Each structure stands twice: as C-alpha cells, then as structure tokens.
Amino acid sequence: MTAAAKKDVIQETDAEAIRLAKTLIRTARYGALATLDPKSGAPMATRVAVATDMDGTPLTLVSGLSAHTVALLADNRCSLLLGEPDKGDPLAYPRISLFCRAKRLERGSPEQRRAERRYLNRNPKAKLYAGFPDFSLLRLEIEHASLNGGFAKAYHLENTEILIPEDAMGELAEKEQSAISHMNEEHADAVERYATTLAHAEKGRWVLTGIDPDGFDIASGDKVRRIFFPRQVRDMNEVRGILVKLAGGPPEN
C-alpha cells in the first residue's frame, strides 16, 4: 500500500465525527483498558467500568490489587477502547480508541470529589466499595484518539476536538449536582420525556447523571443516552432555560 493510499484511509474530521466521538465517550458504561505489563512489557487488556469528568475525560475506579493498577503505577501510558456492539457483526458498530495517560486523583481534593460524584452518579453500585482505602479514581487524560465510525469512516482526533476547555466550565461544576438532584426528584416526568422524545428510548425510570457545557447524560439501568445542547452553555440559568424548552414547557414547581 502506498503512502498516499494509507493517508486516504483517514477521513477529514468534521462535526459529525466529533459528535460521534463525544457520544461514544459520554455513553460508555465500560471499556477495554490496555496497559503495559511491568514485568514483561507486553500489552495487557482488562475490562473497566467508566464514567466521564465534566470536561469529557474518562474516569475509572481501580483497586490497588488489580493488575492494571500495578501496571499504570509503573507506566501511566494506556489506551481505552469504547463502543458497545449490538446484534449482528460487532465490527459494523462505531468504536473509539483513546490514547491516554492515567492520573491518580488525590482523595479528598476538589478534583477527586467532583470526579467521584460524577462516577457514582453513573455507577451507583460502586458506592459499596468506592470508599475503601485501596480504591482510587483515575482520570484517563486523552492525548489523541482513533475513531472508527463504520466502514470507510476512520478519523484521527486531537484531544482539543473531544474535550471541553477548562475556561468553558463556568459555574457548572459547582452547581451541577443540585441541578441533577432537583430534576430527578422534582421533574422525573421531564427527564423521561428527554429520553423518549429526544433520545428515542423506551419509557422507563430515566435519571439525569451528568450535566456539562455541551449537554447532559441520562440513564435507566444499563441504558445510557447522550443529549447535546443546541449550543455550549456556561451557567445554570442557560441550562435551566434549555431544559425547560426541551421538555416542552416550564416544569411545575
């Protein structure tokens, strides 16, 4: 294969590819984490549960006893494969490989508390062991990514195309949880409408699990959906206005 033919395999990144990449990352419940075995240097893949930090960085909760934790302490380079197949050929479904460096979050730090809150919103069963002394939260900080969107849809993405800049967070990090709790406790009907009308999902007990400047995530059991805002937002007044509009009117107080 010539160099020109190889280059043609990678498509020019467009808004559709970026949205697909963000959707795969935000809706993933688990992924294949590849690390380097410190004894042999050989690649090693393990399955991990994941969530995302507000900027879109994957999060995972690890035990100090696990093989991938030992490997990451020796060499923090890793990759994470995300994308869940459905019926039929698993290779026909989109997936994304993220090339990352793992960063352990210091327990009790503001960054760790925010990450833990978001992780447990997505993975509530992890509350049983998240506080154990030998468990830690890792941010898998993306350097670049390889997106396979299906046949002849290969893209290379830089981290700036996937992640939300720190200066775009505004007040959302501080007020996110109160907004999530309010919507889930007081406006569950609106959350279900988001699922059925915007995400075309089946009816069920849908809950908000995360809000960020690009949109929000909802879940019902093992099902997760991503809904993007029509524009990037910076404060909760903007979020509330969009949520009201998306629900079809002001929720009852």
- How many CA within 13 A on the CB side of residue 136? 19
One-letter amino acid for residue 20 of the chain: L
**H helices present in 42-151, as ranges:** 67-74, 110-122
Architecture of domain 13-163: Roll (2.30)
- End-to-end CA distance of the chain, in Å? 64
Residue boundaries of the structural domains of the chain: 13-163, 172-246
96 contacts 148 by C-beta, under 8 angstroms: yes
pLDDT digits (tens, 9 = 90+) for 61-112: 999 999 999 999 999 999 999 998 888 888 889 999 999 999 999 999 999 9
> Class assignment of domain 172-246?
alpha beta
Query: Residues 248, 193: contact at Cβ < 8 Å?
Result: yes
What distance in Å separates the CA atoms of residue 149 and residue 156, rounded to the nearest whole number?
11
**Contact predicate 157/18, CB 8 Å:** yes
- Are domains 13-163 and 172-246 of this chain identical in fold? no
pTM above 0.85, yes or no: yes
pLDDT tens profile 109-139: 999 999 999 999 999 999 999 999 999 999 9
d(CA 147, CA 155): 5
Kindly state the tokens that stand for 174: 């501080």
